[in-house]
Amino acid sequence: MFELIASIIVGGVAGWIASIIMKTNQQQGLLMDVIIGIVGGFLGGGLMGLLGIGTDNLIMSLLAAVIGACLLLYGLQVLRKRQK
């Protein structure tokens, strides 16, 4: 139960940081930040695992989630531009 709550908190913070970096903060709310951050955590954790970089502490987990969330937001921006 604690891990789930910690994942949501880290995901929310990572999603919020990524939305500021990618300049999408005004377009999405808190729930979207959390979702983007959690999905970004999986993407970033997988990417860092492929590179052989461990995410066993909070700072590395947050960094991985922010990187993954930024990649996810970039991909969403590209898809939105293609649809227009």
Nearest Cα neighbor of 39 from 17, 58, 67, 79 is 67
- Please give the pLDDT value at position 36: 92
Q: pLDDT-based confidence at 17, cuts 50/70/90?
A: very high
Query: Is pLDDT of 69 > 90?
Result: yes
CB 19 within 8 A of CB 35: no
Q: pLDDT-based confidence at 66, cuts 50/70/90?
A: very high
- Please give the pLDDT value at position 67: 94
Distance CA 56, CA 71 (A): 21
Residue range 23-64, pLDDT digits in tens = 888 778 888 888 999 999 889 888 888 888 877 888 888 999
